[in-house]
Amino acid sequence: MDESKTPDSSSLPRPSKPTITKQKSSWPFAFFVTVLVPVLAAILLYQLDSFDPAPLPLHELTRHVITVPTQNDHMLRVSEFVGVGNLRGPEDVAYDAKSGVIYTGCADGWISRVTVNDSAADSVVEKWVNTGGRPLGIAFGHNNELIVADPEKGLLNVTADGVVELLTDEADGQKFKTTDAVDVAHNGIIYFTDASYKYSLSKFIWDFLEGKPHGRLLSYDPATRTTKVLVRDLYFANGVVITPDQNYVIFCETPMRRCRKYHIQGKEKGRVEKFIDYLPGMPDNIRYDGDGLYWIGLPTARTLQWDIAFRYPFIRKILLIMEKYIGRPPMEKNGGVVAIDLAGNPIAHYYDPGLALVTSGMKIGNHLYIGSIIHPYFLRLNLKQYPAQAAT
Ligand SMILES: *[C@@H]1O[C@H](CO)[C@@H](O)[C@H](O)[C@H]1NC(C)=O
Ligand SMILES: *[C@@H]1O[C@H](CO)[C@@H](O)[C@H](O)[C@H]1NC(C)=O
């Protein structure tokens, strides 16, 4: 939809003009009310607000963006909608190939099962278990259970019978505030992130605006029931995936537009190194398709608005005050999904100017399924019919 289109003005009745000239004598009062008062109020709010944003490590956060060799830059036009109205913000995708069912967590607390059908309209959504929170990341355990990252509850075990059990909700004496993403290794160890120990999910934007690293990468060992902090001081620690060789866990830091890898085996165990920097957008979930590619959901592309905000803490403080009292201007666009190969090379980028707050992508058969924290459906794109193509 193009909202800039307005009806032909010549067909509208012309407004009468004289009102302004009549009030000329009282202009200082009008100026006082309409300009001076709001400006003074804004300055006062800024001075009184204790919110204290920090400078970000700008040398790591340059405006540089990697070149992705193939793109589909208008994927919304050719996407189908799955589960319209029956899914509220399906954030992550866990696919069980045996049953052909996708599990996803929604904003109303439901973990839903979506039975995939060749025809998008015939896909069936079943509300399965309600966590009483807001399930985000979802992965399969080894005993037919689902392991769920729920920002309101912590790390959960949802058994095959639908019983919800808390596994852990704190580490090193610090409670999780936004348990976000999860994956399970072959040896049963669960790797997950707490995006922020300071802000809850409803205030995640405050975390971005404050610009301090409140995120942690953690592990939970079901055999010993112990929770360990693997990496601390992360900027909004988000998506987590274990590499197919089981040597690393890859984790994404949303505002930094990067994903790094943490060695979980061998001599270098505990070391963190680069996986991919300068993504074309801010990464959310990362999932492996079993076929050589990771798929990363990008809630937004790199935008000028966020570039400026990240550069200047005082702008972030102004944005926070707006967020608190009147709402923040839109700063996200060109959301989508980027595919990265096992070596960390970008392969394909699917996005659309009209898409924002995409959180996950997963290739299932010929289709890319796309989750989001706000939309009431999965988007589905036929990758055979509408592949990403090299720019000509
Ligand atoms: C899709 O749904 C239709 C109608 O409900 C059904 O007949 C068909 O078998 C389903 N196809 C798949 C692949 O599940
Ligand atoms: C989840 O609960 C089920 C049923 O009690 C159990 O078999 C399974 O081991 C549990 N998973 C974890 C990771 O604790």
Beta bridge partners of 101: 96, 115
Q: Which ligand is nearest to the CA of 182?
A: 2
For position 384, which CATH number holds? 2.120.10.30
Number of domains forming the structure of the chain: 1
Residue nearest to atom 13 of ligand 1 (CA): 117
In which residue are the tokens 């980028």 written? 349
Residue among 129, 140, 144, 145 to mutate when testing ligand 2 (max atoms within 8 A of CB)? 145
User: Which has the closest alpha carbon to 203: 155, 152, 257, 268?
Assistant: 152
Query: Can you tell me the distance from the alpha carbon of 53 to that of 209, in angstroms, rounded to the nearest whole number?
Result: 6
Sign of CA dihedral 331, 46, 308, 209: negative
Evaluate: CB of 141 within 6 angstroms of ligand 2: yes
Q: Ligand 2 in contact with 159 (CB < 6 A)?
A: yes
Confirm if 286 and 250 have CB atoms less than 8 A apart.
yes
Relative to the CA of 190, which ligand 2 atom is closest? 13
Q: Which residues line ligand 1 (CB under 6 A)?
A: 117-119, 122
Residue at 290 is within a domain: yes
Helix (H) or strand (E) holding 129: strand 124-130
Pocket mutation for ligand 1, best pick of 80, 99, 116, 117 (most atoms within 8 Å of C-beta): 117
In-domain check, residue 231 = yes
pLDDT number for residue 392 = 67
Ligand 1 centre and the CA of 74: distance in Å?
A: 29
Q: Phi, psi (5° rounding) for residue 322? A: -60, -45
Number of the ligand 1 atom closest to the C-alpha atom of 122 = 2
> Which pLDDT score, from 0 to 100, does residue 45 have?
84
Q: Which helix (H) or strand (E) holds 316?
A: helix 313-325
Q: Quick one: pLDDT at residue 120?
A: 86
* Burial category of 322 from C-beta neighbours within 10 Å (exposed 0-12, middle 13-18, buried 19 and up): middle
pLDDT at 391 (0 to 100): 78
CA-nearest residue for atom 9, ligand 1, is: 117
Inside any domain, residue 37: no
Ligand nearest to the backbone CA of 99: 1
Give the number of the atom of ligand 1 that is nearest the alpha carbon of residue 116: 14
Q: Which ligand is nearest to the CA of 190?
A: 2
Q: What phi and psi, each to the nearest 5 degrees, are found at residue 319? A: -65, -40
d(C-alpha 219, C-alpha 188), whole Å: 10
Average pLDDT of each block of 10 consecutive residues along the chain (392 residues)? Answer: 45 51 64 81 85 89 90 96 95 95 98 92 94 98 97 98 98 98 98 98 96 98 98 98 98 97 95 97 97 97 94 94 90 96 98 96 96 96 97 72
Q: Does residue 40 lie within any of the structural domains?
A: no
Ligand 1 pocket mutation pick from 122, 126, 367 by most atoms within 8 angstroms of CB: 122
Within a domain: 49: no
By the 8 A CB rule, do 156 and 131 touch? Answer: yes
Q: How far apart are CA 274 and CA 17, in angstroms?
A: 63
Give residue 155 CA to ligand 2 midpoint distance, Å.
12
Looking at the CA of 220, name the nearest ligand.
2
Taking alpha carbons only, the member of 252, 188, 195 closest to residue 220 is 188
Q: What's the pLDDT at 14? A: 54
Q: Is 164 in the pocket of ligand 2 (CB under 6 A)?
A: no
- What distance in angstroms lies between residue 221's CA and the mean position of ligand 2's atoms? 12
Say if 33 falls within a structural domain.
no
In a domain, 286, yes or no: yes
For ligand 1, the distance from its centroid to the CA atom of residue 120, given in whole angstroms, is 10
Ligand 1 center–CA 99 separation, angstroms: 13
Question: What is the domain extent for residue 110?
Answer: 69-390
Nearest ligand, CA of residue 118?
1
**Structural domain contains residue 173:** yes
The residues pairing with 231 across neighbouring beta strands, listed in sequence order, are 217
pLDDT (0 to 100) of residue 71: 97
pTM of the full structure: 0.90
Amino acid letter, 153:
K
Amino acid at 200: S
* DSSP string over 364-387: ETTEEEEEESS-SSEEEEETTTS-
Q: Give the per-residue pLDDT at 3.
A: 43
Ligand 1 atom 2: residue of nearest CA: 122
Is residue 210 in contact with ligand 2, taking CB distance under 6 Å?
Answer: no
pLDDT at 7: 45
Q: What are phi and psi of 92, to 5 degrees?
A: -125, 170
Distance, CA of 134 to CA of 109 (rounded, Å): 5
Residue type, 158: V
Instruction: Give 289's contacts (C-beta < 8 A, 6+ positions apart).
Output: 295, 362, 363
